[in-house]
Amino acid sequence: MSRLVMKFGGTSVADIDRIRNVARHVKREVDAGHQVAVVVSAMAGATNQLVAWTRAAAPMHDAREYDTVVASGEQVTSGLLAIALQEIGINARSWQGWQIPIRTDAAHGAARIADIDGSKLIERLEIGQVAVISGFQGLGPDNRIATLGRGGSDTSAVAIAAAIGAGRCDIYTDVDGVYTTDPRIDAKARRLARVSYEEMLEMASLGAKVLQVRSVELAMVKGVRTFVRSSFDDPDMPGLSGINYPPGTLICDEDEIVEKQVVTGIAYSKDEAQISLRRVADKPGVAAAVFGPLAEANINVDMIVQNVSEDGTLTDLTFTVTNADYDRAKKVLEEARGAIGYQVMQGSTDCAKISVIGIGMRSHAGVAADAFRGLASRGINIRAITTSEIKISVLIEASFTELAVRTLHSLYGLDSSN
Amino acid sequence: MSRLVMKFGGTSVADIDRIRNVARHVKREVDAGHQVAVVVSAMAGATNQLVAWTRAAAPMHDAREYDTVVASGEQVTSGLLAIALQEIGINARSWQGWQIPIRTDAAHGAARIADIDGSKLIERLEIGQVAVISGFQGLGPDNRIATLGRGGSDTSAVAIAAAIGAGRCDIYTDVDGVYTTDPRIDAKARRLARVSYEEMLEMASLGAKVLQVRSVELAMVKGVRTFVRSSFDDPDMPGLSGINYPPGTLICDEDEIVEKQVVTGIAYSKDEAQISLRRVADKPGVAAAVFGPLAEANINVDMIVQNVSEDGTLTDLTFTVTNADYDRAKKVLEEARGAIGYQVMQGSTDCAKISVIGIGMRSHAGVAADAFRGLASRGINIRAITTSEIKISVLIEASFTELAVRTLHSLYGLDSSN
């Protein structure tokens, strides 16, 4: 008998019929002998309505009151699912964050989970009671409800899985797993059976929007095996309570991945603008002079490239921001020109970032060279390159995005055979 | 500087504009120097939606889960009103039942307040912070949300007023006070400036549906001066923060009522069915044999009349139930016929109960005689009579209801002069 966390998002609990469907998914796992904790989001649309009300009440408002209002959405779903479970003969009860408690830090509206006391949950799980837990929320140090920020229910689920020592955290979502690349761009994209935490982190932050990045970080730190699967499957289909049969992707430690591929996936981001500062003084403190003012203006910087200067006096600095921040970023840097001391600022908004991801590239030379050669063979010019241990990213002209993704997907043998 | 509780029902907080209006009412009282605790209901319609969902999830459902779902409605309003107050410069925060805590008994769905710890509220009130409290809910002994049953926000408000030692509990509602009778029946009905707890109890349970009966009982026990007033007044109208100027009715101890009237109001109830058991054995245990089975069948009995029997062997027993329960009550009594031992059961559903209420009648002889004479002069036949210390009720044919109310209203000098 092992413990299992099952997480269902807003579309999976959008109305009473779908909540009943979720109850059948849960029953299947209970019948298979699991101790089950379910984490639920608000009914689709509920959170948006609640957020809209807080904004209508005041454009700028107390984050603690926002949390009080918005967290009610998950409270409703947890009670309704508990009722639906009881109706089909499953012992179940709802849990709010403050009842467990799930303790968070004081950052209302975007709180982080500090600690979960799993003892009360475990006590009930041991006697066969399903715990239906409101996602997205906990109890702040001020004894008030704190929410984790949009998408926080994924993080709730992983944190609860860690707190109760669950063997697996199943994330039911509207896609049936993690793909080698975006299937809308490349029809030959394949679903990955397994992917390592590290790879998933690079995928998630690059736009494979299956799981909230924080939930993957937490899963990695706590070693929570996380299984992304579809909530649209017929809950009563035979075999769905195992892990090998149902379609999905297991995010796990790389040790669990027996057949490691060199490259696991190709990610892309089209929403990139590039800024280059030419002939910046190559001395300590310059990078801080550039990125400090940008951070203060709440502008997120993604890729950063600085080459070693030829003579140790002047260098070029290139980085990317989102297209939406481009004009504001240029303005900030113009104002900081005296402090930074660059000679020319150049930039463009027609950029895309293409990333090749794979834990296997650590031990395989030539992965990067293959990518550059492949792109060159299609006439795609590389504007900038950055690499990490398990990722190579290149900046190219945005109009070549699809071609570049397909070229690399095929090049690394990721294409599906059908 | 005195403490004030202000309670607003669902129609008063039905949308953001009305919540803003409520905020202005609160600001007026804060500006007048009061320490203010506000008790709010769910936005109109919200509770019905939540209840409908619990029913759709399962017709019979766990009352604890029902409470979890339904209590979210007040949670939303409390947060939104706190935001609206902050927006107009008032220091405010929301409080849920479990945060205060408002402790209840274990009767989920219809819980009673057991105890309120007012210390945290008082601490904040003393530093000038308005407390915005979710009505209708508290924390059960099982550490779960418990609701007080429909209309329970009135009771919450009165209980909180007692817990924080408020000088007054203002109930904002869609009527501007308590009237001498139903204005829809008698256009000459007058609003009462003051009414005693005892009178209000008789009025409320007889159909003057302004306040939940339990809230009046609690106000009486705890000595909470309760002021019924209109939420439709312009919040910024001068004088509204006092008690003498704004239209409304103060429910208070009779000692506070200087000019006691003999009769305060005329109440009526049309929804009455009468059952008479003829020639019942006049011996101990008979009343229990009649009303025990009715109570077990959840049939509420209102008026009960039993006369002293002529010879001490047989008597007649008459009582009323609601029209909806009439057929069921007769069936229960037919089944219990052997145990009770009556000879004939008679009944009719065309009854109305008219009640004359007034604390003054304790010290005034002839009040009842006046009523009987007045009704007789209009040809209204009295079927049964019961009296209490401050009330005389008569059962008449329902079609005479309006005539009887107007006759008595005029007879006791309650008609307005205009």
Record the pTM: 0.85
Q: Which residue of B has its CA nearest to A47?
A: B76
Mean pLDDT of B294-304: 88
A271: CB partners within 8 A, 6+ apart: A322, A323, A324
Q: Do B86 and A65 touch (CB under 8 A)?
A: yes
- In whole angstroms, give the CA distance from residue A152 to residue A373: 41
Mutate to test the interface with B, among A83, A88, A91, A99 (most CBs of B within 10 A): A83
Mean pLDDT of B344-360: 92
Looking at residue A213, its pLDDT comes to: 84
Mutate to test the interface with B, among A26, A72, A99, A123 (most CBs of B within 10 A): A72
Q: Do A54 and B84 touch (CB under 8 A)?
A: no
CB pairs under 8 A between A and B: 115
Q: Which residue of A has its CA nearest to B14?
A: A53
Helix (H, G, I), strand (E, B) or coil at A184: coil
Q: Which one-letter amino acid corresponds to residue A204?
A: A
A57 → closest Cβ in B19, B73, B143: B19
Closest-CA distance, A356 to chain B, in angstroms, reads 46
Q: Are B197 and B220 spatial neighbours (Cβ–Cβ below 8 Å)?
A: yes
Q: How many residues does chain A have?
A: 418
Closest-CA distance, B58 to chain A, in angstroms, reads 6
Q: Do B68 and A86 touch (CB under 8 A)?
A: no
Show residues of chain B in contact with A58, CB under 8 Å.
83-84, 86-87
Beta bridge partners of B201: none
B58 → closest Cβ in A61, A69, A87: A87
b/e A324-335 (16+ beta carbons within 10 angstroms → b): ebbeebeebbee
- In whole angstroms, give the CA distance from residue B227 to residue B208: 15
Work out the angle at residue A80's Cα, subtended by the Cα atoms of residues A19 and A76, and round it to the nearest 5 degrees: 110
Please report which confidence band the pLDDT of residue B418 belongs to, taking 50, 70 and 90 as the band edges: low
B33: CB partners within 8 A, 6+ apart: B1, B2
**HSE (CB half, 13 Å, CA atoms) of A67?**
30
Please report which confidence band the pLDDT of residue B205 belongs to, taking 50, 70 and 90 as the band edges: low
Question: Is pLDDT of A207 > 70?
Answer: no
Domains of chain A: 3-255 (3.40.1160.10), 265-411 (3.30.2130.10)
A83 → closest Cβ in B65, B71, B145: B65
Give the N- to C-terminal CA distance of chain A in Å, as an integer. Answer: 38
Q: Do A80 and B57 touch (CB under 8 A)?
A: yes
- Give tens-digit pLDDT for A354-397: 999 998 888 887 889 999 999 999 999 999 999 888 999 999 99
Show residues of chain B in contact with A62, CB under 8 Å.
82-83, 86, 93
Show residues of chain A in contact with B84, CB under 8 Å.
57-58
Among the listed residues A338, A253, A237, the one whose alpha carbon sits nearest the alpha carbon of residue A293: A338
CA distances for A122 relative to A5, A329, A363, B64, B293, angstroms: 12, 50, 42, 20, 45
**HSE (CB half, 13 Å, CA atoms) of B343?**
9
CA dihedral A367, A371, A376, A381 (to 10 degrees): -120
Per-residue DSSP letter, A281: E
- In whole angstroms, give the CA distance from residue A123 to residue A137: 21
CA distances for B88 relative to A361, A372, B1, B58, B218, angstroms: 59, 60, 21, 43, 34
Among the listed residues B162, B304, B175, B294, the one whose alpha carbon sits nearest the alpha carbon of residue B228: B175
Looking at residue A231, its pLDDT comes to: 86
B75 → closest Cβ in A68, A78, A99: A68
Per-residue tokens: B33? 């120097």
Residues in A lying within 8 Å of B, measured between beta carbons: 16, 19-20, 50, 53-54, 56-58, 61-62, 64-69, 71-73, 75-76, 78-80, 82-84, 86-87, 93-94, 96, 98-99, 143-145
B92: CB partners within 8 A, 6+ apart: B26, B81, B82, B85, B86, B129, B130, B131, B132
Show residues of chain A in contact with B40, CB under 8 Å.
none
Show residues of chain A in contact with B64, CB under 8 Å.
93-94
B86 → closest Cβ in A19, A62, A75: A62
Instruction: Give φ, ψ of B258 to 5 degrees.
Output: -75, -55
Please report which confidence band the pLDDT of residue A401 belongs to, taking 50, 70 and 90 as the band edges: very high
- Give tens-digit pLDDT for A148-201: 976 699 999 999 999 999 999 999 988 888 999 988 899 999 999 999 999 998
Q: Are A34 and A28 spatial neighbours (Cβ–Cβ below 8 Å)?
A: no
- In whole angstroms, give the CA distance from residue A166 to residue B186: 69
- In whole angstroms, give the CA distance from residue A197 to residue A188: 24
Mutate to test the interface with A, among B53, B123, B134 (most CBs of A within 10 A): B53
Looking at residue A260, its pLDDT comes to: 77
Closest-CA distance, B53 to chain A, in angstroms, reads 7
- In whole angstroms, give the CA distance from residue B279 to residue B296: 24
The answer to whether ipTM exceeds 0.90 is: no
Q: Which residue of B has its CA nearest to A87?
A: B58
Q: Do A61 and B96 touch (CB under 8 A)?
A: no
A61 → closest Cβ in B57, B71, B86: B86
Q: Are A268 and A405 spatial neighbours (Cβ–Cβ below 8 Å)?
A: yes
Mutate to test the interface with B, among A18, A68, A134 (most CBs of B within 10 A): A68
Beta bridge partners of B39: B7, B133
Q: What percent of chain B has pLDDT over 70?
A: 97
Please report which confidence band the pLDDT of residue B232 belongs to, taking 50, 70 and 90 as the band edges: confident
Residues in B lying within 8 Å of A, measured between beta carbons: 16, 19-20, 50, 53-54, 56-58, 61-62, 64-69, 71-73, 75-76, 78-80, 82-84, 86-87, 93-94, 96, 98-99, 143-145
Q: Which residue of A has its CA nearest to B70?
A: A76
Question: Is pLDDT of B207 > 60?
Answer: no
Among the listed residues A83, A78, A80, the one whose alpha carbon sits nearest the alpha carbon of residue A94: A78
- Give tens-digit pLDDT for A212-227: 888 999 999 999 999 9
